[in-house]
Amino acid sequence: MHFPEGNGYKQVRQYKNERECNAVIQQSREEKIARMERLVDGVLPAHEFRLEEWLALQLEFEVHVVHHCLQR
């Protein structure tokens, strides 16, 4: 069965995309807290923290870009 893509369908799709985006960002923030705790505890060297942080920021940026593009 095919449903026409009216305003209601578009809003549902945007809402679903926003929830998925927020879930990725929430997970990213929880991982950041864990990295910071490992850094403070001396378990994670500073250079590894910076690398992991850079990779996480790249992912978060990509999520924002994709989310923005899908809303158009």
For residues 17-36, give the mean pLDDT. 89
Domain membership of residue 49 (yes or no) is yes
Rounded CA-CA distance 66/71 in Å is 9
Domain membership of residue 1 (yes or no) is no
Domain membership of residue 59 (yes or no) is yes
pLDDT at residue 54, as a whole number: 95
**What is the DSSP track for 29-46?**
HHHHHHHHHHHHTTSS-H
Average pLDDT, the chain: 85
**H-run or E-run covering 10:** helix 7-40
Domain boundaries, position 33:
23-70
Domain count of the fold of the chain: 1
Domain membership of residue 15 (yes or no) is no
Q: Which pLDDT band holds residue 52 (cuts at 50, 70, 90)?
A: very high
Torsional class of 66: left (φ above 0), alpha (ψ -120 to 50), beta (otherwise)? alpha
Domain membership of residue 5 (yes or no) is no
